Amino acid sequence: MTAKTMAVFRKELIDTLRDGRTIFAIFVLPFLLYPALIMLVGYIHAKNDEEAKTFSVRVGIVGTAQLPIAAEKIGAVEGVTVVPMEDEPASYDDANVQALLVLPPDLMGMIARGDSVKVELRYKNADNKSSETAERLKPALDDVRQALTLEWARSRGADVDRPPALTVERKDISSKKELGRYVAALMIPYLLIFMVAAGSMQTAIDATTGEKERSTLETLLASAATRAELVIGKVMAVLAASLTGAVTGLFGLWLSFGVLASRVAIMQNQALELSVSPEKMVLLFLTLLPAAIFLSATLVAIGCFARSMREGQTYATYVYMASVFLGLSSFTQSESIPMKQFFIPILNTALLQREILTDTVQASHAFAAIGSSSLLAALMVVIAVRLFSNEQVLFRT
């Protein structure tokens, strides 16, 4: 690293720190955006639960006479009014019901013969009130299922007047630490990619097309530094901004889930133990570095090619959107990830970081992801230098 490169790096870093938009995006936004989002989601969830318990609904029952206990159990649910029906209505809206329980016409005969019996609760998941009604009726449907079982037993000669106490339950025994580890493995890799892409955009475009529009690029080119030293200094400044954004983004996420969520009433259900060991933090940083250099060099190259700030920001937005899309793609990957995925830039970094956080790292995946990202990073630095060295490209009109 030459002294001239470091001088360019310091100059670009100082220019970045003078830009209020960049400072806000890197140091302020993560501490405002994530807590605000978590609080908003918690508030909406709590408000919906509260409203779901209070609104009144109408539930139609077709064939009530076939199983009178169905109307009894459903009618006992708070806020539910039972509407007996002979036939299924042509339109739910005309019938003014939020859900419809349909009993087969020959229900008791089917049970006596041992035929399969299907009782349906029909509702509209696209309608919030209808879907909440179906959720509220779950315990009553369990009672209806028990009543059908009881009728079947009686048809077989059993002397029973109530169903036996048979219980099959699901119970989540995950601790908040285990849940936090799962959330961290999904969120942290994507968040790091998101913050690196967001943190590098403004700095990269301002350091290239911004210099063109301010007419300061000619002065910089007249200095004793070589074109390669100038480009590497600019890439280093963009890299510093992007990595700083990633670190503050992580801290904002920890503040939201680990601190605020446990202290604010509406967020307590979202409180998690997002603990990542120092060793894993170092590994995350090392795996992120090649991808961050690749993105930084790509954006600098775009800035060298673009004629104006507007054109440069347009091209940079495409790169940003592609990075976010690739980061999101890591959410949908199964446990068995194809090897070819670890050669796709950005995505391979997110997938490798997920393996680090879940202690499932495979050496072949690590070599493929880091190796391919490093090669692409070096290639983009070379391309950026070549573009910056070609004045016909740099000052094209």
* Residue 142: alpha-carbon gap to chain centroid: 34
Please report, for residues 84, 100, 235, 293, the alpha-carbon distance to residue 386 in angstroms, rounded to integers and kept in the order given.
78, 69, 14, 17
User: Which 8-state DSSP code applies to residue 89?
Assistant: -
Distance CA 225, CA 385 (A): 13
Question: What is the set of domains in the chain, with CATH numbers?
Answer: 3-45+176-394 (no CATH), 55-155 (3.40.1710.10)
Predicted TM-score (pTM) of this structure: 0.68
272 φ, ψ (degrees, to nearest 5): -135, 160
Distance CA 57, CA 173 (A): 34
Distance CA 215, CA 209 (A): 10
CB 354 within 8 A of CB 189: yes
Can you give the pLDDT at residue 290? 93
Can you give the pLDDT at residue 52? 61
Please report, for residues 38, 77, 182, 272, 350, the alpha-carbon distance to residue 178 in angstroms, rounded to integers and kept in the order given.
20, 36, 6, 9, 20
Residue with tokens 């050496």: 363
Of the candidates 122, 124, 144, 164, the residue with the CA atom closest to the CA atom of residue 75 = 144
CA 180, 181, 182, 186 dihedral sign is positive
pLDDT in single tens digits along all 397 residues of the chain: 678 788 777 877 777 767 666 677 677 776 676 667 666 666 666 666 666 666 788 898 998 888 888 888 888 888 888 989 888 887 777 778 888 988 888 888 888 888 888 888 888 887 878 888 888 888 888 888 888 888 888 888 777 777 666 666 666 655 666 666 676 777 778 878 888 888 788 888 888 888 888 878 777 777 888 888 888 888 998 898 888 888 887 777 666 665 665 555 544 555 455 556 778 878 888 899 999 999 999 999 998 888 888 888 888 889 989 988 888 887 765 567 888 889 999 999 989 988 888 888 889 999 999 999 999 999 999 999 998 888 776 776 5
Distance CA 390, CA 298 (A): 16
CB 59 within 8 A of CB 74: yes
Query: In the Cβ-directed half-sphere of 129, how many Cα atoms lie within 13 Å?
Result: 13
Can you give the pLDDT at residue 48? 65
Distance CA 297, CA 162 (A): 73
* Vertex 143 angle, CA 139 and 146, to 5°: 140
Distance CA 80, CA 134 (A): 11
